[in-house]
Amino acid sequence: MKNNPLENARQQLLDIAKILELDKKTIDRLLKIENLVSGEISVKLDNGKTKKFKAWRSQHNNAVGPYKGGIRFHEETTEEEVKALSMWMTWKTAIVGIPYGGGKGGVAVNPKTLSKSELQRLSRGYIRLIAKAIGSDKDIPAPDVNTNAEIMGWMLDEYEKIIGRKDPGALTGKPLELGGSRGRTEATGLGGSYVLDSFVKKLKKQKKAVSVAIQGFGNVGSYFAKFVHENGYKVVAVSDSKNTLYNEKGLDIRKAFDYKAKNDTFKGFVGGKLLPSEAVLGLNVDILVPAALENAVSEENVSKINAKNILEMANGPVTPKAEEILANKKILIVPDVLANTGGVAVSYFEWVQNLANYYWEKEEISAKLKKLMDSAFAAVWAEYERMSKTTKKATLRQAAYSLAVQKVVKAMQARGEL
């Protein structure tokens, strides 16, 4: 049976609601998706035919500020997935302490089957579908799986044509020329590397003695790998949907990064051996980093996990059932809603720069990001220690959710909503 990410997201919320003893009215309110825009985008193909693609924008909660979250282009994207991702965004923005709510968008498409001009028409069509629901003070989309700065540029252009004025803060992750922020592309990976540093300090380990295996080598996985390698960790494996590249002595990630960028595969790379794609999950490492898609670790394959700890860079990569099994084995999981917030944090910096029309240097961005990530980690860890005194089986996810949910509930109370 396929794991349903919305069920997982709801389960995680119900879990913390029980611990926080929230009343039914509050729980129902938090489970609710406030608004969903959905429809079909008709795209004229280069051969003159027209093809339709299902698309959604889910807005979960905006008590703290405008909805915020990426847009995913993936053939298996569904309404339920987009809803789950929008819920996770609400918790992420709260945990990292930025003034947003949670939203997420998606189009059910395999972008690799489209030409560049078809992709541009699809991106513009998507914006026409959701234009009324977005804006710099309403809902601010950004890149996610298979979307990037170039796509954000097309989307911003379409949006500004529709509204008849400039509003660069309506989308983040844009090209620098259109008001993008320095450091946004690599922000999720960089933020994750700061979280790893904080976590490893808590484990009282030396970086060079910590082995890391990373599933997924897209935007998030590849930059994360690059930063942690530069910081002195031993990255023994990276993977994409086809292969795992493995070297027990440690990979030269800079070379692997350039090789994959040039060849779109790890095949032929000298300096590591190729294993099947899913082998990355079973390696005996200190930290396993799922950075591909949700449900990577589920009930079906959890018994194969040999890692000592997990840092979630993808959204929802460990299902609740798998998490329970891992928790019983004392495997700590640094949750997605904390570990991968670097992207949305720098999206926030981009939005602030757009609103002020004043742009910062990269060093300033990295320093501000480090401060946000370090304090988010410290707050979650303190909550984890506090909860561990009363709950034998407290997890870092519960601690993160505890802080996030309480913050959102307080904002709703302050609005007189609850």
- Among candidate residues 55, 50, 25, the one with its CA nearest the CA of residue 40: 55
* Comparison of 401 and 409: residue with beta carbon closer to ligand NAD: 401
Shortest Å distance, C-beta 309 to ligand NAD: 19
| CA quadruple 151, 149, 171, 31: dihedral, nearest 10 | 80
* Comparison of 293 and 372: residue with beta carbon closer to ligand NAD: 293
Distance of CA 228 to the CA centre of its chain: 18
Shortest Å distance, C-beta 26 to ligand NAD: 27
Q: Scan residues 322-381 and list those touching ligand NAD (CB under 6 A).
A: 340, 343
Cβ-count burial 254-270 (b if 16+ within 10 Å, e if not): eebbebbeeeeebeebe
* Comparison of 231 and 277: residue with beta carbon closer to ligand NAD: 277
Contact yes or no for 292/218 (Cβ under 8 A): yes
**Which stretch, 46-54, 307-315, 367-375, 378-386, contacts ligand NAD (CB under 6 A)?**
307-315
* Comparison of 26 and 243: residue with beta carbon closer to ligand NAD: 243
CA 131-134-140 angle, 5° bins: 135
Q: Scan residues 212-271 and list those touching ligand NAD (CB under 6 A).
A: 215-221, 239-241
* Comparison of 96 and 394: residue with beta carbon closer to ligand NAD: 96
Q: How far is CA 282 from CA 242, 277, 305, 339, in A?
A: 16, 11, 5, 21
Shortest Å distance, C-beta 257 to ligand NAD: 12
Shortest Å distance, C-beta 172 to ligand NAD: 10
| Terminal-to-terminal C-alpha distance of the chain | 37
Q: Scan residues 266-305 and list those touching ligand NAD (CB under 6 A).
A: 277, 291-293
Q: Which residues, in sequence order, are bridge partners of residue 237?
A: 213, 246
- Out of 146, 319, 353, 366, point to the residue binding ligand NAD (CB under 6 A): 146
Phi, psi for 283 (deg, rounded to 5): -70, 150
Shortest Å distance, C-beta 25 to ligand NAD: 31
Residue 343 tokens, joined: 């992207």
* Comparison of 237 and 394: residue with beta carbon closer to ligand NAD: 237
* Comparison of 297 and 313: residue with beta carbon closer to ligand NAD: 313
Specify whether 104 is catalytic.
Answer: yes
Containing 402, the helix (H) or strand (E) segment is helix 396-414
Question: How, if at all, do strands 273-276 and 243-246 pair?
Answer: antiparallel
CA 5/CA 336 separation, integer angstroms = 13
Q: Scan residues 43-102 and list those touching ligand NAD (CB under 6 A).
A: none
Catalytic pick from 83, 92, 104, 226? 104
Contact yes or no for 366/346 (Cβ under 8 A): no
Question: How, if at all, do strands 287-290 and 211-215 pair?
Answer: parallel
- Out of 144, 158, 197, 383, point to the residue binding ligand NAD (CB under 6 A): 144
Q: Which residue is nearest to ligand NAD (CB)?
A: 218
**Residues that contact ligand NAD, how many (by CB under 6 A):** 24
Shortest Å distance, C-beta 56 to ligand NAD: 15
- Out of 77, 172, 188, 198, point to the residue binding ligand NAD (CB under 6 A): 188
Please give the residue ranges that form the binding site for ligand NAD (CB under 6 A): 143-146, 188, 215-221, 239-241, 277, 291-293, 313-315, 340, 343
- Write out the catalytic residue numbers: 104
